[in-house]
Amino acid sequence: MSILKTEELTYTYSVGTPFEKTAVDHVSLEINEGEMIGVMGHTGSGKSTLIQHFNGLLRPTSGRVLLDGRDIWEDKDKLRDVRFQVGLVFQYPEYQIFEETVFRDIAFGPKNMGLDEAEIKRRVLETANDIGLSEELLERSPFDLSGGQKRRVAIAGVMAMEPKVLILDEPTAGLDPAGRDKILSHIRAYHERTKNTILIVSHSMEDIATFADRILVMNNAKLFCFDETKKVFARADEISQIGLDVPQITRVFMELKKRGIAQDKEVYTVGYAKELLLKMLGRREGS
């Protein structure tokens, strides 16, 4: 069964004013338990607006959002529960850090859930480990950490609530390639340990290509496509036309295909490209 589902979800900002803007337009989709989903689209395509519906931060102008088959707005008293079950990490979450120590910052969410001290401690240690923060950092002030470390503290704070669905809005924005790879590999480790559903918003295909099960692409408030990663990459031409960066290696293979040299064009990792190239070379040498 799907864990998250939207039915004709529509959201319009500033209804009835000159600034009226429909940011999500009749989007229907289903996300299954345990999936790792990449959410892509150019800036302003509606990604952030869409995901803020998944934990009830925004209420649909029309249409519905279902969590485990139930409309999250059906009973407003349950909305608090929804926010514990669907954890949302905003873009640049490090700006929301405010506690005196890293430990207390990560513990903030679990504390709010009313968990006991032992359970809170277990969760803080476990998530700090998942996200690559060493134990000696836990008693430090988060403000003494590097930008990348602060971001990991903020992500750990949401992970520590152990949400069934974890949503990260552009978790790698503004980081250098090393910081980006580190965060992504830690998120992947968390996914492997918990098997929880994860949505990662990104405007870079390179970021999510290697580990998303499925990719959802937004374009001008509409759902452009939502399919297995490989199938989305097979449409790389269209994807680059709507303003998304296609990975360099994908572009190389698109060009090789155009020139009749390669057959595959849905190539999106350097490792797979190497395998294909070696095979092609082997064939040539043998002939």
Q: Give yes or no for residue 78 binding ligand ADP (CB under 6 A).
A: no
| Residues 6 or more apart whose Cβ sits within 8 Å of residue 149 | 133, 137
Alpha-carbon distance 190 to 130, whole Å?
6
Residue 41 interacts, among ligand ADP, Mg ion, none and using kind-specific CB cut-offs from 5 to 8 Å, with ligand ADP
Alpha-carbon distance 175 to 46, whole Å?
22
Q: Which is nearer to ligand ADP, 50 or 166 (CB)?
A: 50
Alpha-carbon distance 225 to 105, whole Å?
37
Residue 180 interacts, among Mg ion, ligand ADP, none and using kind-specific CB cut-offs from 5 to 8 Å, with none
Q: Measured from the CB of residue 50, what is the shortest distance to Mg ion in angstroms?
A: 9
Residue 13 interacts, among Mg ion, ligand ADP, none and using kind-specific CB cut-offs from 5 to 8 Å, with ligand ADP
Q: Which is nearer to Mg ion, 48 or 55 (CB)?
A: 48
Residue 44 interacts, among ligand ADP, Mg ion, none and using kind-specific CB cut-offs from 5 to 8 Å, with ligand ADP
Q: Give yes or no for residue 93 binding ligand ADP (CB under 6 A).
A: no
Q: Which residue is nearest to Mg ion (CB)?
A: 48
Q: Measured from the CB of residue 20, what is the shortest distance to ligand ADP in angstroms?
A: 9
Q: Measured from the CB of residue 31, what is the shortest distance to ligand ADP in angstroms?
A: 18
Alpha-carbon distance 218 to 224, whole Å?
5
Alpha-carbon distance 139 to 16, whole Å?
50
Q: Measured from the CB of residue 56, what is the shortest distance to ligand ADP in angstroms?
A: 16
Q: Say if CB 221 and CB 43 are below 8 A apart.
A: no
Q: Give yes or no for residue 172 binding ligand ADP (CB under 6 A).
A: no
Alpha-carbon distance 163 to 122, whole Å?
15
| Tokens encoding 263 | 């057959």
| Tokens encoding 240 | 């680059």
| Residues 6 or more apart whose Cβ sits within 8 Å of residue 151 | 92, 93, 94, 171, 175, 183
Q: Give yes or no for residue 109 binding ligand ADP (CB under 6 A).
A: no
Q: Give yes or no for residue 172 binding Mg ion (CB under 5 A).
A: no
Q: Give yes or no for residue 45 binding Mg ion (CB under 5 A).
A: no
Q: Give yes or no for residue 52 binding Mg ion (CB under 5 A).
A: no
Question: Under DSSP, is residue 193 helix (H, G, I), strand (E, B) or coil?
Answer: helix
Of 154, 211, 153, nearest to 181 by C-alpha is 211
Q: Give yes or no for residue 17 binding ligand ADP (CB under 6 A).
A: no
Q: Give yes or no for residue 45 binding ligand ADP (CB under 6 A).
A: yes
| Residues 6 or more apart whose Cβ sits within 8 Å of residue 181 | none
Out of 2, 33, 44, 225, the residue judged to bind ligand ADP by CB under 6 A: 44
Site residues (vs ligand ADP, CB under 6 A): 13-14, 21, 23, 41, 43-49
